[in-house]
Chain A
């Protein structure tokens, strides 16, 4: 299922720290993953997992200070075919990449659009900047892009302001803007979290269709496992600033090797399953106990250990390494082999 193709982006040992009054917050602490060309990689995590800081680091949009990329490299092969280390690029070189090679869409489409310009102006701006087109040509591209993302009457809509549009329409405009320069990589940071379910379905459908047409890679950041199952080819699960599991989407959902991933999958109600039957006792969700860890005060060993029902003494001693469990599946748990055994017994 996974296209073992060309690597588009490789993040190696990325560390992004924030200096705060109360100490150094290691938001991203040695994160390694890669995205192949044309693939959708989902990064899953809760608040404080470091998933958003990872994406902002790739865009070099970390506010410095207080933030700082202290270590690691982000290797990216742009449209020119040259591999660059994003961490080392100058701000001017980075500006050429942003919006042109890598685009980003955000959770809240209202605050990401400038309220005083028409949506056409905002799309045209990026086109003029990166493709050297004049205003008239760029407005033409803008209208084409709006049609491309399924906005009806695009010639009329280019002259509208963001506030004249609904949330779903604004997210379409954001996507149109992000795709206007044919980026090689689209970073989508919780793009549907603020939207209604029926609108979310529209946007996810649109993103799948566009990816088929353009062939770009998508880095999809979300906390919603349902969205992950629908969109992703591969999945990276983050917890406490580190990758705890990585693998093919079916592997992650069907054979998770990290207790956190297992816990997450068990704790969500699945549409259509466990529906309450009258007269019968109601089912129980299997909750993960405890709280999301304080990024200032992570445990010495495995970050998930305080909440893990499988934790043993060894988990407390050192941060476990990422174990390769085969098929490109990695898990940061010292007991992963036991889970594999149990599963084999169950299936056998």
Chain B
């Protein structure tokens, strides 16, 4: 039915497409929540060194406290002084199960200190915003006390600190891999769509071949190609890069389709008629039209890559010790099977972050898709 319901003529206000999209986006409550959450998560990753009281791999070789539960924080001591403090931890043996258990040693109290630097402690030094070397911490406690906000792992490392540091890898991996995919997809799809003919045929056949390769098998094989002593972070980025190299096909197909259809648009013909060069037409008239799709693609691909990373780390071909990502931290929860989940539920906290980050990205992605789609405008 082509008889249409009248589309209201918009009030005369000079809005670019972006400002319309933004005002549409803002009206979507879920998208707003998602964006806020993402802001918090990425702020956390940027400030990880400052938020984490301990270094990434910091643990005591002499006084190792494995699987400590979250340290209780007390607000009023016996003397009536106000202020957060923690008690020392003493290891006991549970005489029924013969397992280690930790009890609070009320004879030792250490106040929680805010904005303390820790000179001389290598592990706690980090570069603030990537530039300024410092060991300033939001909060910390002095030895001999330990502040395990979310418990410790088997080496006695602070899980809170590791989740903070892990967010840097988990959250950046999605962006890096998606951007890489987009760049490859744009270039290949753009070339195929604009030049058509043999180039197009070759690129599209390549896409089909790539999409037929079993991904997990390829990844495991590729991971095995690298020597064991290679830097695990480097190796992991290479693996992610390979994920992107396999993954650009779908996007390239869509970009090609969009370029093919928009190069027939009258305004592209108009630019040709004005004498615009190929580069100008691609850059000014064709690619901006794929921008909408690219943005939506990015925001929906990023959570996918976050999940891939978690999955790979979980099965042991992703981030490995001593580095941490949310996926590799979650792997820790697996040690000891169900019993450990029962006894140490806090080890699941990294999983909560994965879920939050993925949900937030998807809310934002859905919000963007709706905001760009004129049919869904409110």
Contact = CB atoms under 8 A, between A and B. Distances in A.
26 contacts: A20-B8, A21-B8, A21-B377, A23-B8, A25-B8, A47-B6, A48-B6, A53-B5, A53-B6, A55-B3, A62-B5, A66-B5, A67-B5, A106-B1, A106-B2, A111-B2, A112-B1, A112-B2, A190-B3, A294-B8, A295-B6, A295-B8, A296-B8, A296-B9, A296-B11, A297-B11
By Cβ-Cβ distance, the 8 closest A-B pairs, closest first, are A108-B2, A294-B9, A52-B3, A20-B8, A107-B2, A189-B3, A25-B8, A296-B8
Contacts of B6: 18, 25, 27, 47-48, 50, 53, 295
A30 B164 CA distance: 65
Contacts of A108: 2
B3 A106 contact: yes
A107 B3 contact: yes
A204 interface: no
Interface secondary structure of A, over-half rule: loop
A108 B4 CA distance: 12
B10 A22 contact: yes
B378 interface: yes
B20 to A, nearest CB: 11
Contacts of A62: 5
Contacts of B378: 21
A230 to B, nearest CB: 21
Interface of B: 1-6, 8-11, 377-378
A222 to B, nearest CB: 12
Contact of B4 (A21, A25, A52, A297): A52
A281 to B, nearest CB: 31
Nearest to A20: B8
Which interface class (under 10, 10 to 19, 20 to 34, 35 or more) fits A?
A: 20 to 34
A294 B9 CA distance: 6
A206 interface: no
Contacts of A61: 1
Contact of A18 (B1, B3, B5): B5
Contacts of B11: 22, 296-297
A56 interface: yes
A47 B7 CA distance: 10
B246 to A, nearest CB: 36
A55 B5 CA distance: 11
Nearest to A67: B5
B142 to A, nearest CB: 59
A62 B1 CA distance: 12
Given A108-B2, A190-B3, 14 more contacts: A22-B10, A23-B8, A48-B6, A52-B3, A55-B3, A61-B1, A62-B5, A67-B5, A106-B3, A111-B1, A189-B3, A295-B8, A295-B9, A296-B9
Contacts of B4: 52
Interface in A52-106: 52-53, 55-56, 61-63, 66-67, 106
A4 to B, nearest CB: 31
A53 B11 CA distance: 22
A296 B6 CA distance: 10
Interface in A23-64: 23, 25, 27, 47-48, 50, 52-53, 55-56, 61-63
A53 B7 CA distance: 12
Nearest to A291: B9
A135 B295 CA distance: 51
Contacts of B3: 52, 55-56, 106-107, 189-190
Contacts of B8: 18, 20-23, 25, 294-296
Nearest to A28: B6
Nearest to A61: B1
Nearest to A294: B9
